[in-house]
Structure 1
């Protein structure tokens, strides 16, 4: 009676104080895991219709009784598998001995039933399990039970071991230090690691494994079922798992980290939810329940079966790969946003829910079929999604391709778009803060004074043939702009459109992704008057859902066209600048997704053909910017015309073998005048104004006449922003015929000048030239030192004076006053006379503190500290 009372107390303690059984690592069974019954040393015998589900064998001993017994697996006798299994059973048995006995018991089971929570239990002597033993997982699918017996173990007739509330036979482990006898019609659950014989009396059932390191196995019309191999593993969160977000932590999952054979389930209420930050995650199928989430911030996730997401799948980096062999499904009711998605399944992938992608969509060796569901290629300040077309797969069905305007293309203004899908219309240009205004398109298109049209259209295509028939009061080039008259007007593949909308707008193009060769045929009306000089311009556009590198467009792909292209960078509603690119010089050759651009049918040609090809496309993520620069190693002078409001325009002069002093269709770029009114050009000997001017070579005889236009009277500057690979014996010179000054651009990179009201009414011709002279040895000119610069008073209050002595060859002094963050708070340019320069620096309104005065005189850059009080 006393012993029974102690047993009840122990059982109650087990229920009230359940042990952290899920935290204890289970014994590694190795090869023994495939066996339902196995003995390392001992005979195996059977009578009657015994059924074994799993392998059955011995590593040393006789084997009889099959048939009449049936083994739904392999019989293994002294083979490679059984030899390894013998070692693995010995190891697992020894491991069980290291698990502490947390709760000692007198017996297992009883009447009424005894219930145990997850944990480690032991009976210190031979024992019999009578009645019922319930192993309760408490709702934890990872709950583990470790049950030890220090001697023989017998289950009484009709006794039962049950698992419930998440507990499974796969997580129940017995260590038995003697013979095991399973009584008549009894039901046993778990893996038995036995140091002795295993005797199953008629009708006994083992749902688990019977593994002996030494002893015979005797059976009589029994059933032995190996513990089912886990097919799925569930995320546990804080309640039952390790409580971290690491996908690769085994204790975060009910059956270990997912594998290619193991489905992954992320249930609700299992926070914190998993994150893949790095590494290579692998899973058979992936299920995310309502309210649950999976986040990728890096790494890869390889899925062999389907994705069912009813929660939230989000990514800020990383790649998800669908690599099965049968058609894979992306389904569920949740939000599924991949960063990059790669398809390497020849059977393809089928959508059954909405999907969005922020990085690269790569149908490498299988198709993605949208199946009538939304597929969105996202675009925002973080980047723009693209399609990598290098593989053999395609995307079938309608796709939404977004285009966000980068911050570099500031303000509301005319941005040049093109559609990367077929089937898109003018209506697709509608955004959350913009609707195309074309109600008066017909009026605009036929008006003699189009600029007075109200409301003014906000969408335009370009038709150069209008220059021959239109008699409105616009400039010749602008006559080609024509507004569509219907929202259902198709956006033609390969054509560009000027759209006046905010840079914060995100345009959605909806249709089938464009791929393969796209041929655009263009014309040039060379006999029209009086606008013949502006003939042949075409507003085109990148037709693909990926960036296009125009430098890969061969001459044969642009028959009858000049080599140059022109991208418009808006800086306001009606102002901006055209950035030219030709022959690797100027603006970047990369045309991002949905980027429109101008090109031109060459003089003397009546038609031209541009063939866009898949091989022109880029296959990796690219900047969101509509315009970028690329380096070049040929001799180059890049001049920038600057206005006080920050507006700029660029001219490129470079040396190119085969170039002439006239206009070269393959080396030069004509000047498209900027709506801002700020323009800088060189003039070819044949009269063309150029934005990119290729010369055969730079010598002391090279002279480029410059023409510039400014929008108003005021102060402007010309700066050499790039001097690259110039001959060592030449210095570039900028000459101002109005002031008589000549600036060596190696010694003084910027020159400031004034333009009067009378001069601002048209283009300034003949005032500036760019030339070269034999380089002066710098060693003959003494260097200016900071000690020679006078600054007073210091400390200063509202102003201070700077006195700089003369510097040979320098005609300009540039001054920056920098705060402690390195930000320029004051800037001045002063002409240097034969006696030097003296200037006053205004410090009114500056916060008290330490400042740095930086001076640029010729080739010298000096700095002096100033204290403002």
Structure 2
């Protein structure tokens, strides 16, 4: 018995250490749609910079876009609700990384190092540099914490190998960031101070500052690959609807995030439509539901996180509540009830769920996988 108890304690201890050693992606909230943003600082550009993603500042002068620079996204200026919320979210995301536990200690010169997923830290208060190539190897989340400013040299770069992706890389920089001329940087930068992109430097990711100017000079910044991607499915194991009283079925809609990036809070929207001859209902107080013909145990649902915006009996439109979001690689599950009313016996038709197209890419970047249909039959 003592041996079994010791093994159990050892297992729990190892599991706990694993849980705290490997970081989770920080929740960027509404800032997830931004390629470049400062919570408190000027924003300027020189030359024909090209940015894919939202840009802006919450406090400071803004210039250089839409000319001479080009932006595929929104420009958010001080006094706008979007900039104010993004400022709060950037600071919260930066602060959330302060207590993340390190599992690897790195040196101030990042070049010639190869990092694997997890939390890597340069704990000394000193300037950091990248004079060559930093290699990130393996699938998973990378959190790289630098306790001082970061400067990259001319033509320096980051190399992704063995499944590493830009959307899973996060740098917390306790200071300013300067990307050198012609350098190529990958990942989301959360900086405490100014961010300067040298001439023709490129960034595949985001640069978000809590309090510092953002300066561009003929750069390329692409955050499109970092936007969330949602796709839905429908769970309804028993899809045959008989006459009353056996004419009611519970089902669930699952909305998956595929890209590894959390949605911005409070704006995920979708519509569920049932065929003519059926009705649909949604109860926003439910926390569990029994899927018809499925598990004998109720499954957990997130109905309390959603609000109905429109309904006509056959169709329900919903939006996620303020402060709620779908986390990276996570699933939102909602429970519904569908009732056969006037559908003919032998009829075959479909329920459909449609994640609303998101022009700003703040909660969904790919409209091609937003619709899912489930066949139902009237017995």
Which TM-score band applies after superposition, normalised by the shorter structure? 0.5 to 0.7
The TM-score, its normalising length taken from structure 1, stands at 0.27
Match of 2:183 in 1: 186
* CA distance in structure 1 between the aligned counterparts of 2:177 and 2:158, rounded to whole angstroms: 15
Write the distance in 1 (CA, Å) between the matches of 2:90 and 2:199: 26
Task: For 1:696-707, list aligned pairs within 5 A.
Answer: none
- State the match for 1:221 in structure 2: 218
* Partner deviation per Cα, 1:547-569 (whole Å, 9 max, x = no partner): xxxxxxxxxxxxxxxxxxxxxxx
SS where residue 98 of structure 1 aligns? Answer: coil
Q: 1:204 deviation in Å?
A: 0.9
Deviations 1:357-392 (A, max 9, x none): xxxxx7x6xxxxxxxxxxxxxxxxxxxxxxx45448
Question: Could you say what secondary structure the match of 2:96 adopts?
Answer: helix
Please name the residue that 2:321 is paired with: none
Q: How does 1:138-287 map to 2 (within 5 A)?
A: 140=139, 143-226=140-223, 227-231=225-229, 278-279=288-289
Relative to 1, partners in 2 of residues 1:43 and 1:19: Cα closer, same or farther, differing over 3 Å? same
Q: Which has the larger radius of gyration?
A: 1
Name the CA distance, whole Å, in 1 between partners of 2:115 and 2:20: 11
State the alpha-carbon separation in 1 of the partners of residues 289 and 21 from structure 2.
25
Instruction: State the shift of 1:103 in Å.
Output: 1.7
Q: What is the CA–CA distance in structure 1 between the aligned matches of 2:202 and 2:179, rounded to whole Å?
A: 8
Q: Structure 1's 221 and 256: CA in aligned 2 closer, same or farther, altered over 3 A?
A: closer
**Post-superposition offset of 1:207:** 1.2
What is residue 49 of structure 1 aligned with on the other side?
48
**Conservation of the 8 A alpha-carbon contact between 1:233 and 1:256:** no
Change (3 A) 1:390 1:162: farther
Counterparts of 1:37-436 in structure 2 under 5 Å? 37-66=36-65, 67-78=67-78, 79-107=80-108, 109-111=110-112, 114-123=113-122, 124=124, 125-137=126-138, 140=139, 143-226=140-223, 227-231=225-229, 278-279=288-289, 296-299=295-298, 388=340, 390-391=342-343, 395-396=347-348
1:324–1:84: structure 2 CA closer, same or farther, 3 Å change rule?
closer
CA offsets 1:593-641 (integer angstroms, 9 cap, x no match) = xxxxxxxxxxxxxxxxxxxxxxxxxxxxxxxxxxxxxxxxxxxxxxxxx
With normalisation by structure 2, the TM-score equals 0.58
Q: Would the aligned equivalents of 1:21 and 1:119 in 2 still touch at CA under 8 Å?
A: no
The secondary structure found in structure 2 opposite 1:31 is: helix
Shift of 1:301: 10
| Length, aligned pairs only | 259
2:345, 2:43 → 1: CA distance? 56
SS at match of 2:98: helix
Contact 1:233 1:254 in 2 (8 A): no
Are the structure 2 counterparts of residues 389 and 81 from structure 1 closer, same or farther at C-alpha, using a change threshold of 3 Å?
closer
Q: CA deviation at 1:102?
A: 2.4
Q: Deviations over 1:320-376 (max 9, x none)?
A: xx9899xxxxxxxxxxxxxxxx999xxxxxxxxxxxxxxxxx7x6xxxxxxxxxxxx
Q: Secondary structure at the match of 2:88?
A: helix
Q: Distance in 2 between matches of 1:126 and 1:192?
A: 16
Where in structure 2 are the equivalents of 1:777-788 lying within 5 Å? none
Pair 217,165 (structure 1): closer, same or farther in 2 beyond 3 Å: same
| RMSD across aligned positions (CA) | 4.1
Deviation at 1:122, TM superposition (A): 1.3
Is the Cα contact below 8 Å between 2:35 and 2:52 reproduced in 1? yes
Aligned pairs for 1:543-558 (under 5 A) are none
Q: Output one character per residue of 1:58-92: Cα deviation in whole Å (capped at 9) or x when no partner.
A: 11111111201011111111111111111111111
CA contact (8 A) 1:182 1:204 kept: yes
Deviations 1:403-447 (A, max 9, x none): xxxxxxxxxxxxxxxxxxxxxxxxxxxxxxxxxxxxxxxxxxxxx
CA distance in 1 between partners of 2:132 and 2:71 (Å): 30
Task: Provide closer, same or farther for how the CA distance between residues 148 and 233 of structure 1 changes in structure 2, counting only shifts above 3 A.
Answer: farther
Whether contact under 8 Å (2:167, 2:260) holds in the other structure is no
Q: Distance in 1 between matches of 2:186 and 2:343?
A: 51
CA 343–153 in structure 1, closer or farther in 2 if over 3 Å, else same: closer
Q: 3-state SS of the aligned residue for 2:51?
A: strand
CA distance in 2, matches of 1:46, 1:120: 33
Q: What's the offset of the Cα at 1:130?
A: 2.0
| Superposition deviation, residue 21 in structure 1 | 8.3
The answer for the alignment partner of 1:30 in structure 2 is 29
Are the equivalent residues in 2 in contact too, given 1:19–1:117 (CA < 8 A)? Answer: no
Q: Higher RCO, 1 or 2 (CA under 8 Å, sep at least 6)?
A: 2
Q: SS of 1:97's equivalent?
A: coil
Residues 722-733 of structure 1: pairs in structure 2 closer than 5 A: none
| SS of alignment partner, residue 87 of structure 1 | helix
